[in-house]
Amino acid sequence: MTDRVVVAGAVFDEGRLLAARRSAPPELAGRWELPGGKLEPGETAEQALVRELREELGVEAEPGERIPGEWPLAPGYVLQVWTVRIVSGEPRPLEDHDELRWLFRHELDTVDWLDQDRPAVAEAACRLPVGTPPGLAGGAPPTRT
């Protein structure tokens, strides 16, 4: 039998990647992932991704390129990842997640990614700019007024 596909988005914005913390099931809760979900019958991966990101984050998203590779999840499931651009809306953790974080490349290992997501995140990271983000040059944190 062919594996069922879980499609996830490497959502990029202003040189950062969106990470989402799962709120369920208990064995995955608290771990971080790329938002997405299972492909439903009759859907293309891109359609599933757009649907899942609308349901989970409340945004309209536009899939870009598929990140090469396919990563095994629980038996019978594989993870495929597409780059994604948000067309409208501000992501909110509406379903399946209790926190979202935008991470610069140098911050990617500050969250506890699901083990099975780590190679996919590493691939996605190759698409993020290297170096100090604008506004943080000089190392000093931005001051609030």
Ligand X SMILES: Nc1nc2c([nH]c(=O)n2[C@H]2C[C@H](O)[C@@H](COP(=O)(O)OP(=O)(O)OP(=O)(O)O)O2)c(=O)[nH]1
Piece of the chain touching ligand X by CB under 6 A; list 70-78, 84-92, 122-130, 137-145 = 70-78
Residue 116 interacts with ligand X (CB under 6 A)?
Answer: yes
Residue 84 interacts with ligand X (CB under 6 A)?
Answer: no
* Burial group, residue 77, by CB count within 10 angstroms (0-12, 13-18, 19+): middle
Q: Quote the CA–CA distance of 64 and 11 in Å, as a whole number.
A: 10
Q: Which of 10, 34, 84, 86 binds ligand X (CB under 6 A)?
A: 34
Q: Quote the CA–CA distance of 57 and 30 in Å, as a whole number.
A: 17
Residue 93 interacts with ligand X (CB under 6 A)?
Answer: no
Piece of the chain touching ligand X by CB under 6 A; list 58-66, 85-93, 103-111, 113-121 = 113-121
The nearest distance, CB 80 to ligand X, in angstroms, is 10
The three-point CA angle 73-102-28 to 5° equals 30
**Closest CB to ligand X among residues 35, 63:** 35
Q: Quote the CA–CA distance of 57 and 11 in Å, as a whole number.
A: 11
Q: Quote the CA–CA distance of 72 and 30 in Å, as a whole number.
A: 20
**Closest CB to ligand X among residues 30, 131:** 30
Positions 46 through 65 that interact with ligand X (CB under 6 A): 52
Q: Quote the CA–CA distance of 51 and 57 in Å, as a whole number.
A: 10
Contact residues toward ligand X (CB under 6 A) are 6, 8, 28, 33-38, 52, 73-74, 77, 79, 96, 114, 116-117
